[in-house]
Amino acid sequence: MTRSQLVLMSVITALVVLVVAVSGSLAEHSLREREMAKFTRSLERRAMLVRELTSGLPFDVAQRDALDAIADRAQRAAAARVTLITSSGAVVGDSDVPLGKLSEVESHADRPEVRAALEGRVGSSTRRSDTVGRPLLYLAIPDALGVGVVRLAVDVSDIDGAVAELRHSLIVAGAIGIAAAIAVSFGLSWLTLRPLREMRRAADSIAGGDLGSRLTARGIDELGGISTAINQMAEQIRERIEETTSEKDQLQAVLNGMVEGVLVVDIAGRVLLLNDRLREFYQIPNEVFGCPVLEVVRDAEVDALLGEAAATDHAVSRKITTIRADRRTFRVHAVRFPAGSGSRTGTVAVFHDITEVARLEAVRRDFVSNASHELRTPVAVIRGYAETLLDPAELGADDRQSALETIHRHAIRLSNLVADLLDLSAIEGREVDSEPSRVDVAELAARLVGDSKQRIEEQGLELELAAPAPAWAWARRQAVEQTLSNLLDNACSYTDAGGRIRVSVAAEGDAVMLQVADSGIGISPEDQHRIFERFYRVDASRSRAVGGTGLGLSIVKHLVHSMGGRIDVESQLGRGSTFSVRLPAAPSDRG
Ligand code: ADP
């Protein structure tokens, strides 16, 4: 039961109680009045009768015997106590008092009804009788003969009985009235409050987020108007929320589609928004709305940059390298928004991933310094010897010959270097003109081994080929040739006389495996992953002595990758090395 129902029921009950009480007391009063008047009238008539009975007898103490006897008789006739009183107030006859005791009865002159009768009027009074101990109605009339008073008294407790009966009936009627009032008020309030309860339920569920909840339409009265208004309000809220959600989704979709990471924080440095890219950059898996930026990004530099941007009207930009293992480098631009206004609400930061750019920059720097270093030596040597040759007086014929040979050797070295650099830049720049086609690597290896066999064996090395069956790769013929030739050259260069070189070709599932194994000096494990870098040489002087440029394996790696293949090396110091090239096999249906 609601509070308002309780109030309504209490008010109605109180009203019923009030009405019953007021009307009950009025009814009781008028009943008592009417009964009393009836009693009085009947008593007066009976008193007159008694007066007639006593007419002729002087009310005198001397006549007490006769008067008392008359009083007793009159009592039977009048069905009331009869008292005969002299003009002085002495009782000379009383139906309720034995004759012998009459003399002891006190004077009745001060009794109100007696006083009135003595003054010649009919007097009446209701009071509790000391003699009989019950409420009595006394009525006194003056004696016709002018002396004495005839007084009659009747018990009026009957009237009280009648009034009590009436009161009892009123109480029963009141109780029924109250019960009916409670039931009616409960029903009425339930009916009246039902639409309000429905409205409240709908309003509660709308407030609780159920925007689909609607009130049933009800008429055009006030409640109907409120229902319509609530329904319209819910509809508008739903539309607004849908709009906002779709705008937010669009914004998030745009942000997530960006290559840059985006982070928006509020004025207190708590995260308002971020995109998927930033999650990826900083490996943020969870929902972080409202978390402090330092907790989310775990980078004091980012936190400091946002703080700086929040304190100025200008955009702040900085290069930040993460402290995590992947060490990514970002160019971060941060600006507070709305820019330039006094009411700052936050800061937005955009993270551009420049890791690759930074890496390429470093590679370029290294390359330029390595290339210049490599070029400087032959150029300096050539220049030195050329200057010496310009002054022929100082040189003997042998020296001149030796100087010319040195110049020749370094010129070849220079030309090798330039040729390798051009090759490398062509491969890196994807300037390869030929398209891949079916290449029988076994046949190609056999031809190349055949061509180099004599030269290699002259160096005191044994060359062996194991290419039993055709092995068709999807590759560029020239690139495979150059790859094998470089690997073979290296095997010769880094294997001492008496060693063995073995070239093998075999089809392996969806790949063609080309291997060049030697029993040469081998490569230490820490150098193995670096030998594919440009200009990297384990032993620079040995490389130079054999005409190496430090670019051969770098070219091989790029060629193999450009054909969709891969290259690996296995090597043990002093035991030899095996370079394995896997190339994609040519599908049988490709021509
Ligand atoms: P280079 O012109 O110096 O041979 P490469 O790029 O071909 O340049 O090779 C890089 C380095 O790798 C060489 O300097 C050498 O130290 C090492 N290397 C290459 N092939 C072999 C091999 N078969 N055995 C031992 N070391 C090798």
pLDDT digits (tens, 9 = 90+) for 310-328: 899 899 999 999 888 788 8
Dist CA 303 CA 324 (whole Å): 16
**Cβ–Cβ under 8 Å, residues 428 and 561:** no
Cα separations in angstroms, 517 against 56, 463, 476, 481, 567: 175, 10, 23, 17, 13
Dist CA 207 CA 218 (whole Å): 21
Instruction: Show the tokens assigned to 243.
Output: 């709009």
Structure confidence at residue 127 (pLDDT): 87
> 121 falls in which pLDDT band (50, 70, 90)?
confident
Cα separations in angstroms, 198 against 195, 217, 455: 5, 11, 102
Q: Residue 117's closest CA among 149, 147, 92?
A: 149
**Ligand 1 site, residue 551, Cβ cutoff 6 A:** yes
Query: Above 70 in pLDDT, residue 392?
Result: yes
- Tens-digit pLDDT profile for residues 324-376: 878 889 999 999 887 555 555 799 999 999 998 888 888 788 888 888 888 88
Q: Whose C-alpha lies nearest to ligand 1, atom 12? A: 531
Q: Whose C-alpha lies nearest to ligand 1, atom 21? A: 490
Dist CA 481 CA 583 (whole Å): 13
Structure confidence at residue 591 (pLDDT): 45
Structure confidence at residue 332 (pLDDT): 95
**Cβ–Cβ under 8 Å, residues 583 and 514:** yes
Dist CA 355 CA 280 (whole Å): 14
What would you measure as the largest C-alpha separation in the chain, in angstroms? 206
Number of H helices, E strands in the chain: 15, 17
What is the whole-number distance in angstroms between the Cα of residue 548 and the centre of ligand 1? 8
| Mutational pocket test of ligand 1: of 377, 487, 531, the residue with most ligand atoms within 8 Å of the beta carbon | 531
Q: Residue 532's closest CA among 561, 504, 503?
A: 561
**Ligand 1 site, residue 234, Cβ cutoff 6 A:** no
**Ligand 1 site, residue 490, Cβ cutoff 6 A:** yes
**Cβ–Cβ under 8 Å, residues 78 and 49:** yes
**Ligand 1 site, residue 567, Cβ cutoff 6 A:** no
- Residue 391 in 3-state DSSP? coil
Structure confidence at residue 556 (pLDDT): 94
Q: Whose C-alpha lies nearest to ligand 1, atom 16? A: 538
Structure confidence at residue 448 (pLDDT): 94
**Ligand 1 site, residue 494, Cβ cutoff 6 A:** yes
What is the whole-number distance in angstroms between the Cα of residue 524 and the centre of ligand 1? 12
Cα separations in angstroms, 304 against 49, 211, 316: 124, 43, 11
Higher pLDDT, 433 or 397: 397
Structure confidence at residue 147 (pLDDT): 61
What is the whole-number distance in angstroms between the Cα of residue 220 and the centre of ligand 1? 96
Q: Would you give the end-to-end CA distance of the chain in angstroms? A: 90
Percent of the chain with pLDDT over 70: 96
Higher pLDDT, 163 or 473: 473
Query: Above 70 in pLDDT, residue 297?
Result: yes
**Cβ–Cβ under 8 Å, residues 475 and 441:** yes
Dist CA 464 CA 511 (whole Å): 22
Sheet strands (E) in 248-328:
261-266, 271-274, 316-321
The mean pLDDT value of the chain amounts to 86
- Residue 85 in 3-state DSSP? strand
Mean pLDDT of 413-427: 86
- Element (H or E) spanning 411, and its range? helix 397-428
Cα separations in angstroms, 542 against 43, 116, 496, 546: 160, 162, 12, 6
* β-strand partners of 337: 346
Higher pLDDT, 32 or 5: 32
Structure confidence at residue 146 (pLDDT): 52
> 246 falls in which pLDDT band (50, 70, 90)?
very high
**Ligand 1 site, residue 550, Cβ cutoff 6 A:** yes
* β-strand partners of 273: 264
Dist CA 87 CA 353 (whole Å): 135
Dist CA 4 CA 18 (whole Å): 21
**Ligand 1 site, residue 501, Cβ cutoff 6 A:** no
List the strands of the sheet with 271-274, edge to edge: 271-274, 261-266, 346-353, 329-337, 316-321
- Tens-digit pLDDT profile for residues 455-499: 999 999 999 999 999 999 999 999 999 999 999 999 999 999 999
Structure confidence at residue 15 (pLDDT): 86
Structure confidence at residue 427 (pLDDT): 79
Lowest mean pLDDT among 281-285, 449-453, 554-558: 281-285
Structure confidence at residue 55 (pLDDT): 74
Structure confidence at residue 228 (pLDDT): 83
Dist CA 550 CA 367 (whole Å): 12
* β-strand partners of 123: 140
- Tens-digit pLDDT profile for residues 129-156: 776 677 888 999 987 555 688 899 888 8
- Residue 547 in 3-state DSSP? coil
- Tens-digit pLDDT profile for residues 186-232: 888 788 777 777 888 888 888 887 877 777 766 667 777 888 888 88
Lowest mean pLDDT among 43-57, 277-291, 505-519: 43-57
Determine if residue 169 is left, alpha or beta; phi over 0 gives left, psi from -120 to 50 gives alpha, anything else beta.
alpha
Instruction: Show the tokens assigned to 442.
Output: 């076994």
- Element (H or E) spanning 51, and its range? helix 3-54
- Element (H or E) spanning 94, and its range? strand 91-94
- Atom index in ligand 1 nearest the CA of residue 520 equals 24
Q: Whose C-alpha lies nearest to ligand 1, atom 19? A: 490
Dist CA 453 CA 441 (whole Å): 17
Query: Above 50 in pLDDT, residue 241?
Result: yes
| Mutational pocket test of ligand 1: of 461, 553, 573, the residue with most ligand atoms within 8 Å of the beta carbon | 553
Q: Residue 293's closest CA among 319, 318, 273, 323?
A: 273
Instruction: Count other C-beta atoms under 10 Å from residue 289's C-beta.
Output: 11
Distance of CA 537 to the CA centre of its chain: 60
**Cβ–Cβ under 8 Å, residues 74 and 48:** no
